[in-house]
Structure 1
Amino acid sequence: MFKTLVFHEIRPKEEIDLGMRPVIVKNGYVDQLPLPLFNSVSSFEKEMTYLVESGYHFLTLAEVKAFFYEKKSLPEKSVLITFDDCFQSMKTYAYPIIKKLEIPVTVFVATGWIFEETSEYSGKVSKALSFKELDEMSDYFTYANHTHDYHERRGIEASKLMWEDKENVVQDLEKCNEWVKEKDVFAYPFGLYDAENVSLLKDNGFTLAFTTKQGVTTRETNPLEIERTVIPFTMTLDEFKELMTY
């Protein structure tokens, strides 16, 4: 069994205290990232350091696939670290910590959000990175499918993945796969999906897909509905340690 953790924005506490900010992405999608999806730089470093010093095994996607499809066992304390959306703070604040601690990370990329040109970091917006910047972090970050232009939502109940025709969804997934390395691994945008989405992924060769439902992944878990736990900036280190006791 293992747990999967998901992060979005890693920011200094003083930036988080400024509240929600606009999302700025290449395809022009308009939204704001909810504050529970932010984590502070200090908390993130303490959490990752705790995992390293406590002997946790950091999983790769190859190991997760082998767990499900080859019935291979995993080390007792296994964890998969993931990021969604590729905001500037991932490079500015998270990547240096990941590199220092030598942690493999899976990143889900909505390729339609990613810019061609690099721009200066801004604490006032949640702006996506450039493809060049993502390439520069590929020593520790492995990139997987998060749709191309389908990272959109209607409130908190539906994502574009759920209301578009199947043919259009498949074309969008294929577009994202033109860039990402892991072409059979997916994360549901906003964690919003339905049974038809799960079937579509299976029919199109996807082997792993990640939700935002909290829990522990076991052999009984559907590999196209793997649990992921969001780690917010309000979580104390003691609470994090308790979460990771399973």
Structure 2
Amino acid sequence: MAMKILINYIFVIFTIQASLLAMQNHAVVLQYHRFDEMKYPSTSISMELFTQQVEYLVKNNYTVWPLSKIVKYLLEKKELPDKTVSITIDDAYHSVYTKAYPLLKKYKLPFTIFVNSAPIVHESVHYLTWDEMREMGKYGAEYANHTYSHQYLVRDGIKNPKNYKKYVTKEIEMCEVKIEKELGKKVCTDPKILAYPFGEYDVRLMKLVKSLGYVGVAQNSAPISRESNFMALTRFPMSGGFGEMDQFVLKINTLPLPLESISNKDTLLDKSNNPPFLILTLKKPLKDLQCFTSDGKKITMQWLTETTVKIESELPLLYPRNHYTCTAHAKGNAWYWYSHLWIVLK
């Protein structure tokens, strides 16, 4: 009898430990726009490739959650299931309904659509309708703010600084009021989430968006974690050739680069500070760290200490935007990943 109790106790302990090992505090967020609209190659993915990606997630037991659920867990410091992924779709183009939705519905996968509401209000045939969005909301879709008319908020603010706060607030609140009225409980409100148009943000915009009660979402690539900047959550773009299956598999298995600090939180570049430098302080030495610009050019790296590195492009970055992306081998086939946005001003 005593032996049986001991065996049961050991089994329970083993089960708990195995469960804890299968939890994590990071996730990968995927970003899409159009589906099978190949006259827009930079923002579209073929349904053949998208189907391969979705079926890979299903067959390999990835946990697919809506973005709001992942963000809420991270903010509340709750553990996420192993291999957690979110599918996000920007702009609410009509091909979401005609192409992607049937596949996502078939596999019962949730997804998050960032809505810029002006073209829907004006009933553009290229965008979703409210009825289509309400239907998708019954089968896994949630909706979040992408501003009313999808403008260059950072650049517009530089051109017209006096009206900046009023202008940006109006863009965000007009969209929020409309989507909540039309889509009700399917809109992310706990927390409220905003995706920056064109993925562009700076320190001033982040502060304003935070004051309005939103989490901010960007477009530069990296996994997200409890230690992420919740005013600029990163995503992996899957369109424009960035989602081929070898890249897809690599990216959904990435880990956040273990960063202690980053020297420059802003993103704006002009002639006076282009090319920019960035100083990263790591939590542990990573001697195989490599950094690249968006066009794949290797960035010069200067190690200041065993864990602090200064990175700087040899040439000025080109308009309209660029990124510094740093990676290092983690464990097995996994890679650490970090990306910093730069907005290049004329």
TM-score, normalised to structure 2's length? 0.58
> CA 1:116 to 1:171, structure 2 compared with 1: closer, same or farther past 3 Å?
closer
Conserved 8 A contact 2:221-2:236: yes
Aligned residues of 1:116 and 1:130 also touching (Cα < 8 A): no
Match of 1:95 among 88, 96, 101: 101
SS at match of 2:77: coil
For structure 1, the 5+ residue unaligned runs are 21-34, 120-126
Q: Which amino acid aligns with 1:100?
A: K
Deviation string, structure 1 residues 18-71 (Cα, Å, up to 9, x no partner): x34xxxxxxxxxxxxxx2221001100110110111111112244223323211
Partner of residue 88, structure 2: 82
Task: Indicate the residue corresponding to 1:226 in structure 2.
Answer: 233
Q: Is the 8 A contact 2:68 2:193 kept in 1?
A: no
Per-residue displacement from partner, 1:158-191 (whole Å, max 9, x unpaired)? 5547656111211221111113322411100010
Indicate whether 1:137 and 2:132 are aligned: no
The one-letter amino acid paired with 1:213 is: N
Equivalences, count: 215
Structure 1 residues 49 and 202 mapped into 2: Cα distance closer, same or farther (>3 Å)? same
Given the superposition, is the C-alpha separation of residues 162 and 43 from structure 1 closer, same or farther in structure 2, using an over 3 Å criterion?
farther
The 3-state SS of whatever aligns with 1:114 is helix
For residues 58 and 162 of structure 1, do their structure 2 counterparts lie closer, same or farther at Cα, with a shift above 3 Å needed?
farther
Structure number with the higher strand fraction is 2
Q: 1:190 aligns with which of 193, 198, 208?
A: 198
**Separation of aligned partners in 2, 1:161 and 1:9:** 28
8 Å CA contact retained: 1:118, 1:132: no
Residue deviations 1:136-179 (CA, integer Å, cap 9, x gap): 21122101000012x1249xxx5547656111211221111113
1:242 aligns with 2:250: yes
1:3 aligned onto 2:2: no
Matched AA of 2:112: T
Give the AA of the match of 1:189: P
- Residue 64 of structure 1 corresponds to which residue in structure 2? 70
Alpha-carbon separation, structure 2, partners of 1:117 and 1:225: 30
TM-superposed deviation, 1:9:
0.5
Q: Percent identity?
A: 30
TM-score (structure 1 length as normaliser): 0.80
Check 1:113–1:224 CA distance in 2 against 1; reply closer, same or farther (3 A cut). same
Instruction: Tell me what 1:168 maps to.
Output: 167
Whose relative contact order is higher, 1 or 2, with alpha carbons under 8 Å and at least 6 apart? 1
CA distance in structure 2 between the partners assigned to 1:80 and 1:108 by the alignment:
13
Is the contact between residue 209 and residue 225 of structure 1 (CA under 8 Å) also seen in structure 2?
A: yes
1:114 aligns with 2:120: yes
- 1:23 is matched with none
* 2:176 alignment counterpart: 177
2:184 aligns with none
Unaligned runs of 5+ in 2: 1-25, 180-186, 255-346
Superposed CA RMSD in Å reads: 2.0
Rg larger for: 2
